[in-house]
Copies of this chain bind each other. A is one copy, B any other.
Amino acid sequence: MTKEYDLLTLGEVMLRLSPPGNERLVRSQILENRVGGAELNVAGGASLLGLKTGIITKLPENDLGKYARNTIRFSRVSDRYLVYDNSPEARIGIYYFEYGAHPRKPGVVYDRKYSSVNRIDIDDFPNEMFSSTRCFLTTGITLALGGRVRETTIEMMKRFKEQGVLVAFDVNFRGNLWTGFQAKECIESILPMVDIFFCSEDTARLTFLKEGTVENIMKSFTEEYPISVVSTTQRIVHSPKVHSFGSCTYNKKEDQFYTELPYENIDVIDRVGSGDAYIAGFLYGYLTCAGDCQKAVEYGNAAAAVKHSIPGDMAVSDLEEVNKIIKDHQTTGRRPEMER
C-alpha cells in the first residue's frame, strides 16, 4: 500500500540573510534572502531526488511566511502540514550568514527566538498525518528550541512511531542552543523511538561521552537502544573553500559497516546544508533500495558532496545530477571535463 508521503520532516523554517560574495555583515547594504532549516533542507533534497516529502512547521501569516511557503513549494516539498501563526507575536526566525575565507571562518548570527515555530502545537495537525508517511525525520535543533517545540516534537515522534512509521533522527548539535549535557539528556530520552540515527563522531565523543574507535561507538548506540542503523559523516576541512567528505554507516541487523572512498577536494561554494543533503541522499537510497545501506551511503555522499557547490541552504540536485556525480566518482581514468 502506497502512502501519500515517503518522508515528513519537522523543524523550523528560517530566512537566511547573507551578504553577496565575500562581503561582510558589518558593511553590506544588500542581503540575499534564502530560506533554510535543517529539516526543510532534508525534505527539499529528498524531494528533488524523487521522494514525496512534506514539511511540518509553523510560519507567521505575513509576507515573509508566504515567501517561505512559496520557496518550500518551489523545492517540491508539500506545504500541506505547514500551519500559520496569526498571533501578534508572529515572526519568522532569521539567521544571518557570512561566507568565510581562510583564515576567517564562516560567520553566523542567529535571531530565531520567539519565532512562530515556538507556538507549534500537536493539535494544529490532523490525526491522519501520522499514518500518511513512510518515514519521519527531525533533528536535535528542533528539540533544542524553546516554547512548545520540544514537547510537540516528542509527542509527534510517539504518534508516528505508533503508526509504524520509520523514525530518523539527526543529532545536529548546536552549541548556541543548548549545552552538551542538556542535549545528551534530552536525546537519550527519545532514542528508544529512533530507527535511523545520524551522529557525527565528534558529537558522539564530546556530547555522548563515547570512547573507542568510531566503529565501536556506532555499534554501542545500537546496543543501548533499539536503533537499526547508525550513520556518521566525516569531513576534512582543508580551508573554508576546500573540504573532503565521506561517511560510514552501521547496519545492526546485518552487523555490517558500509563506506566508500570519500569525495576529495570539494570546491566549497556553500557548506551549509551539506550534512542535510547527506541525510536526504541517504534516506532516498535507503527508502528506494529496500534498505540497502551501500546505496544509501553512495547517494548520501554524492548529494552532500555536490551540495557544497551550490549557494544557499537547500540542495537543487535531481536524481539525474546525483547519478552523474556517483558515476564520475566511481569511474577511474580520463573523463571529459564538460559535456557538450
Q: Which residues of A contact B (CB under 8 A)?
A: 17, 21-34, 62-64, 66-67, 70-71, 73-76, 89, 91-92, 94, 96, 98, 100-111, 113-114, 174-176, 202, 235, 237, 239-241, 243, 263, 265-267, 269-271, 302, 305-306, 308-311, 316, 318, 321, 324-325, 328-329, 334, 337-340
Can you report 28 residue pairs joining A to B where beta carbons are below 8 Å apart? Answer: A21-B21, A21-B311, A23-B311, A24-B63, A25-B64, A26-B316, A28-B33, A29-B33, A29-B34, A30-B32, A31-B31, A31-B32, A73-B73, A74-B74, A102-B266, A103-B266, A103-B305, A104-B306, A104-B310, A105-B324, A105-B339, A108-B338, A108-B340, A114-B114, A202-B334, A235-B337, A239-B265, A271-B337
Number of chain copies forming the complex = 6
Q: With A30-B33, A108-B340 given, is the CB distance from A325 to B63 under 8 Å?
A: no
Residues of B within 8 A of A108 (CB): 338-340
| Most chain B CB atoms below 10 A, which of A89, A91, A176 | A91
Question: In the complex, A175→B340 CA distance in Å?
Answer: 6
Residues of B within 8 A of A94 (CB): 94
Residues of B within 8 A of A269 (CB): 22, 101
Residues of B within 8 A of A328 (CB): 103, 105
9 closest cross-chain pairs (CB), A and B: A101-B309, A25-B63, A101-B267, A74-B74, A237-B337, A108-B340, A104-B309, A26-B66, A102-B267
Given contacts A24-B316, A27-B316, 13 further A-B contacts (CB under 8 A): A25-B64, A26-B63, A29-B29, A62-B109, A63-B109, A70-B74, A103-B309, A104-B325, A105-B324, A174-B340, A175-B340, A239-B267, A241-B267
